[in-house]
Amino acid sequence: MAETFDDFKFNRQILNAITDAGYEQPTPIQQKAIPPISNGQDVMGIAQTGTGKTAAYVLPIIMKLKYAQGENPRALIIAPTRELALQIEENVRTFATYTDLRVVVLYGGIGPKTQIENINKGVDIIVATPGRFMDVYLAGHIVTKGLQILVLDEADKMMDMGFMPQLNRILEVVPRKRQNLLFSATMSDKVHQLSANFLEHPTVVEVTPQATPAATVNQKLYYVPNIKTKINLLKKLLEEDGDIRKLIIFCKTRTSAEGVFRFLSRKYKEDEVRVLHANKGQNTRINSINAFRADEVKILVATDVAARGIDVNDVSHVINFDVPIVIEDYVHRIGRTGRAYQSGEAITFCNPAEEYYIRKAEKLIRQQIPVQTIPADVFVEETPYEERQDQAKEIDMQKRRENPDFKGAFHEKKTLNQKKKFEAEKAKRNPRVAKKLSTKRSSKRK
């Protein structure tokens, strides 16, 4: 197995770019994936984020294409989010710096005019989100007949986000004879189905058991009764832990993310904290990620839209303020830390309604997350009535999901008014029912 990048027989331009980027030895996924990709085989890679998988396919693609040629793309890389597409494009530019290869990135959220102009100048590698690629292709700006390599990155996330129809359309418009590469953090049934349609006798490369967190991530779990207590615990951890150099706080919803951001903005200077979610404009999101990467801000509050799009090697801590509902996202969130052989810490706050999802996450990662005791000086708030009700409804829904016959405390009950409306509606449609009702009412009056 290759111990240095020289062992892959890359040309001098690529080796110089690797040295400039500060990489000294290939990661396990690179050791296993680069040889079969370089040999032109279809490859399926199971590897979580932070393992160096982008370079595992970008380096052999650059080696294969070598130099700019013609006007039309020869490699297409599809990614689920604009953040990830931009990160991959940055990787391509880094490793292709001593070549004249041309790369264009396509993503939604901004007008396509500049992106189309860049394609028209000539392109070798396109990195794109599925929707924007199809939009630009259908508008007649992309010629696919020269495509030699097609990569689907974060395939499991694309399945979760409902991109299957767009992916099937992309497969229809690219040449049948091509090399296919598929990378995913988990091997779900949907990914398995996609791989069957997409790959021809692939070489399967797996660096760790599916969805197992990196060994360099130290996980902790706190059982916290409500949002206010979560805020109190967050405050305590931030005051106490001098090891927090760079922190991502993950929230389930935009509302939750904004609430945590407002709290932190009052505690720290506003320019030390940024918030990232789908309601933020494209430029704001890119600026926030760049500021975080450049150490201009210490804390990034984010929803899962950012979980797979932030490639920052020195994130020391991740805090799951809310437990994710899409269980695989737990792996991707904590994969933001402990990257590139560095150690990291992942802390999760779990309320009673989230215990269901934590059990599922533990089943997925095949390990129990060590439980911590809330420090004695953290004030544990009383759970407000509305929050208690919301938690009870959520727990009922979880039980119904496991057992469809479960009725629960919150199953639908018709109120008296609803019953009256229902009967009146029935009476309108059926004269016999109307007669019965009027007889019933008159006998009651007597």
| 45-80 per-position pLDDT tens digit | 988 766 788 999 999 999 999 999 999 999 999 999
pLDDT confidence tier of residue 291, bands split at 50, 70 and 90? confident
Cα 197–chain centre separation:
23
5-206 and 217-383 in the same fold: yes
- Is 50 exceeded by the pLDDT of residue 7? yes
Strands of the 273-276 sheet, one edge to the other: 273-276, 299-302, 247-250, 317-320, 344-350, 217-223, 371-372
- Is 60 exceeded by the pLDDT of residue 269? yes
Name every residue whose Cβ is closer than 8 Å to that of residue 117 and which is 6 or more positions away in sequence.
Answer: none
Beta strands in 144-215 (DSSP E): 149-152, 179-184, 203-206
Q: Does this model's pTM top 0.75?
A: no
User: Count of CB atoms within 10 A of residue 430's CB?
Assistant: 11
Find, among 238, 242, 257, 246, the residue nearest to 312 by Cα: 246
- Is 80 exceeded by the pLDDT of residue 312? no
Beta strands in 363-432 (DSSP E): 371-372
Pick the CATH number of 217-383 from 3.40.640.10, 3.50.40.10, 3.40.50.300, 3.20.20.80: 3.40.50.300
DSSP-derived letter for residue 44 is E
Minimum mean pLDDT among 46-50, 98-102, 331-335, 395-399: which range? 46-50
d(CA 417, CA 75): 63
**What interhelical angle do 53-65 and 82-95 show, nearest 10?**
50
The pLDDT of residue 412 is: 46
Based on its alpha-carbon atoms, the radius of gyration of the chain, rounded to whole angstroms, reads 26
- Is 80 exceeded by the pLDDT of residue 35? yes
In CATH, what class is 5-206? alpha beta
Beta strands in 144-193 (DSSP E): 149-152, 179-184
pLDDT confidence tier of residue 235, bands split at 50, 70 and 90? very high
Q: In this structure, what is the dihedral angle of CA atoms 287, 293, 297, 302, given to the nearest 10 degrees? A: 70
Element (H, E) at 126: strand 125-128
The pLDDT of residue 439 is: 66
Minimum mean pLDDT among 22-26, 76-80, 192-196: which range? 192-196
The pLDDT of residue 138 is: 94
**Which tokens hold the place of 91?**
């990787």
Cα 99–chain centre separation:
31
Residues above pLDDT 90, as percent of the chain: 48
The pLDDT of residue 37 is: 96
Q: Domain-by-domain residue ranges, the chain?
A: 5-206, 217-383
Residue-wise pLDDT for 353-384, tens only, equals 999 999 988 988 888 999 999 999 999 999 99
SS3 348: strand
φ and ψ at residue 345, rounded to 5 degrees:
-125, 135
The pLDDT of residue 84 is: 87
Mean pLDDT, residues 97-106 = 96
Q: Between residues 329 and 393, which one has the greater pLDDT?
A: 393
pLDDT confidence tier of residue 259, bands split at 50, 70 and 90? very high
- Is 80 exceeded by the pLDDT of residue 184? yes
Longest alpha-carbon distance in the chain: 102
Find, among 145, 191, 178, the residue nearest to 44 by Cα: 191
Q: Between residues 411 and 10, which one has the greater pLDDT?
A: 10
Mean pLDDT, residues 150-179 = 88
Mean pLDDT, residues 232-254 = 88
Which of 154-163, 203-212, 308-317 has maximum average pLDDT? 154-163
- Let me know: does 28 contact 287? Beta carbons within 8 Å: no
What residues pair up with 184 in beta bridges, in sequence order? 46
Q: What is the mean pLDDT of the chain?
A: 85
User: Count of CB atoms within 10 A of residue 142's CB?
Assistant: 22
What residues pair up with 51 in beta bridges, in sequence order? none
The pLDDT of residue 414 is: 43
